[in-house]
Amino acid sequence: MNKILIANRGEIAVRIIRACKEMNIKTVAVYSEADKDALHTRLADEAICIGPANSKQSYLNIKNIIEAAYLTKADSIHPGFGFLSENAQFAKICEESNIKFIGPKSNVINLLGNKSNSKELMKKVGVPVIPGSEGSVNNIEDAIIVCKEIGYPVLLKAASGGGGKGIRIVNSPDELAQNLNIVKQEAKNAFNDDEIYIEKFIKEPRHVEIQILADEYGNVVHLGERDCTIQRNHQKIIEETPSTIIDEKLRNKMGEAAIKAAKAAGYTSCGTVEFLVDSDKNFYFMEMNTRIQVEHPITEMVTGIDLVKEQIRIAAGEELKITQKDIGFKGHSIECRINAENPSKNFMPSPGKINELNLPGGNGIRVDTAIYSGYVIPPNYDSMIAKIIVHGVNRNEAISKMKRALEELVIDGIDTNRDFLFDIIRNPDFIRGNYDTSFIEKKILN
């Protein structure tokens, strides 16, 4: 693996470029016309424009990305997260073009990308799943039968979903027909696939995911959990590890289930198995993300393992040098996502020029970002512009460090969610670890 093209932008593109530099691998940045002055274009060895600002014409344009790889003689493509990272067709075209896709095989992405099919696979191999429909539900008659069997409330979910899109809670039969059509339309608009499925809605759950690494020789390890429960509109805002509700016994049990899931799917690369954990500590498989996660740095902070480098090594055909007994967990880590948005105006995006920038620093603080003073944030993409990651000897110290880091952060010229995050971090229930997925709506926005 001599040259990697990064088919992404923003902080994840910068993160991958830095890992490649440390591994002495050449890099190619691709960018849209809106990103011509972006940091990732400056840090890479080469940069090539792949289209206009509209992501469909640039970062989602498979033809242009493959052509860019050929033009620059890149032998591999790293998709980062979002955009084409879980696109089975893109992975397949890379395979057919003799370009190494840094991720799992296209057939595995296709299998796990369909939530109803992946759920069926997990049931077959004994991974606990949330009660729900046997595969997809195509009409109201079938939906009524399923909902009667599992009981209300239920979740209607897009089979090809992700990012919190195509999800609705239904509390009664009266709400079913209308919401069924809405979710099918949302799924069609977001994923070009109106297939949906139904599952039991778990009240007051924790959203806990397990990080895994799997090589091409059948070796699979887990790197513990990340608690991603603090969410707004199904979008993660704050993540931490270890989870306040997971003890060593449950961690091992969930880790074993995640490894079983990866092996059942024939998974290779870095991946994440997501679970819901109820108030009785029962856990249920939700989905498997076939890519590096936004929140991967907190796992790196407590394990000392560079996940992006491991992902690249696996794609290069190397065998995992890490065994399960080698993996330990030191201290506590928290990540806050910094978004260019205005919480007081219903989280309205806030693109624009950064006039002044001060990023926090010091012992145990890491900032992953692609912004700089004078940078103009374009209005065309996701509002996340940075991630602040802290590491402390315990959770209390990690919270104190995050408070200090947020206080030091200055991004002048645009609105951000900094103060909103600060309200969460200092909330007594968060400090006590007493929260579930409804925390933001009940404790912060109420």
Which helix (DSSP H) or strand (DSSP E) does residue 19 occupy? helix 10-22
Catalytic residue among 206, 251, 291, 366: 291
Three-class DSSP category at 117: helix
The CATH code that applies to domain 131-200 is 3.30.1490.20
Instruction: Please give the Cα distance from 350 to 336 (Å, whole number).
Output: 18
The CATH code that applies to domain 206-444 is 3.30.470.20
Count Cβ atoms below 10 Å from residue 148 Cβ, excluding itself: 10
Q: Which residue has the tokens 């792949």?
A: 50
Q: Token pair of 267, please?
A: 């998974």
Is the C-alpha dihedral spanning 87, 93, 96, 100 positive or negative? negative
Instruction: Please give the Cα distance from 322 to 310 (Å, whole number).
Output: 10
Count Cβ atoms below 10 Å from residue 64 Cβ, excluding itself: 18
Instruction: Please give the Cα distance from 212 to 320 (Å, whole number).
Output: 12
Instruction: Please give the Cα distance from 128 to 147 (Å, whole number).
Output: 20
Q: What is the pLDDT of residue 163?
A: 65
Query: With contact defined as beta carbons under 8 Å apart, do 368 and 15 qualify?
Result: yes
> What average pLDDT values come out for the chain (446 residues) when binned by 10 residues?
97 98 98 98 98 97 98 98 96 98 98 88 94 88 94 91 81 93 89 89 94 98 98 95 97 98 98 95 95 98 98 98 97 98 97 98 98 98 97 98 98 98 97 96 90
The structure's pTM equals 0.91
Count Cβ atoms below 10 Å from residue 177 Cβ, excluding itself: 13
Residue closest to 179 by CA, chosen among 190, 191, 167, 188: 167
Query: With contact defined as beta carbons under 8 Å apart, do 340 and 312 qualify?
Result: no
Q: Top-level CATH class of 3-102? A: alpha beta
Query: What does each C-alpha distance from 157 to 43, 182, 188, 381 come to in angstroms?
Result: 39, 11, 12, 24
Angle between helices 115-125 and 248-265 (to 10 degrees): 110
Three-class DSSP category at 160: strand
Is the C-alpha dihedral spanning 193, 238, 377, 441 positive or negative? positive
Query: With contact defined as beta carbons under 8 Å apart, do 241 and 333 qualify?
Result: yes
Instruction: Please give the Cα distance from 384 to 347 (Å, whole number).
Output: 12
Instruction: Please give the Cα distance from 332 to 392 (Å, whole number).
Output: 5
Instruction: Please give the Cα distance from 237 to 416 (Å, whole number).
Output: 13
Same fold, 3-102 and 131-200: no
Phi, psi for 317 (deg, rounded to 5)? 90, 10
**Domain locations in the chain as residue ranges:** 3-102, 131-200, 206-444
Residue closest to 211 by CA, chosen among 281, 121, 307: 307
Query: Got the DSSP string for 374-417?
Result: T-EE-TTS-SEEEEEEEEESSHHHHHHHHHHHHHH-EEETS--S
418: annotated active-site residue: no
